[in-house]
Structure 1
């Protein structure tokens, strides 16, 4: 028992030395570059192809939909649950704010489609 406790304490001390300083602003540090284009990011998911990071947030946002830029996908008004790209900005005051994401591949077609639930995610590629 004492040996196990001693090993656990030794492991805890070793792991304490493995931490890096937190990034609290938008400057790159410790080999990490933060993407500060988001107001309140909440949920993160990798696209099924592994080529994009799907991020949902609360608040306004949106940039042109080019590589390295943000793209919004809104639920199809018909209620299919599939995302549909639309113009991002300026958005009307009545537009839905993003909230939550879930990416799945629909096997019903030859090409993979990303199925989003009823909340609006942002894609960054």
Structure 2
């Protein structure tokens, strides 16, 4: 449960670690494309977490608030769908599901942290 106390960028970095655990546990079963898609998606989540934090700050500050709010909403939706792909797998994206209950539980904890962060972002 230590994830609940991490700042948002650390949450997304931990998520990348979770995906690496998923990948490592499935080493024989993954092809190069699955490795690439999963790592690309976790990288997207990492950078998007920083972008959303910046956009929320700019909205709260009143700097191009409408434009930044629209962008923030788009990033939140993209983060939601990409996080679900990492946590639960997405055949269309070529991302495998968690290979074990232990990895799935870890990923679900990251998802809980995201829900808390998402609520903070969308309450601005």
TM-score by length of 1: 0.22
Structure with more contact order per residue of length (Cα contacts < 8 Å, sep ≥ 6): 2
Asked which structure has the greater CA Rg, the reply is 1
TM-score by length of 2: 0.22
Structure that is richer in strand per residue: 1
Structure that is richer in helix per residue: 2
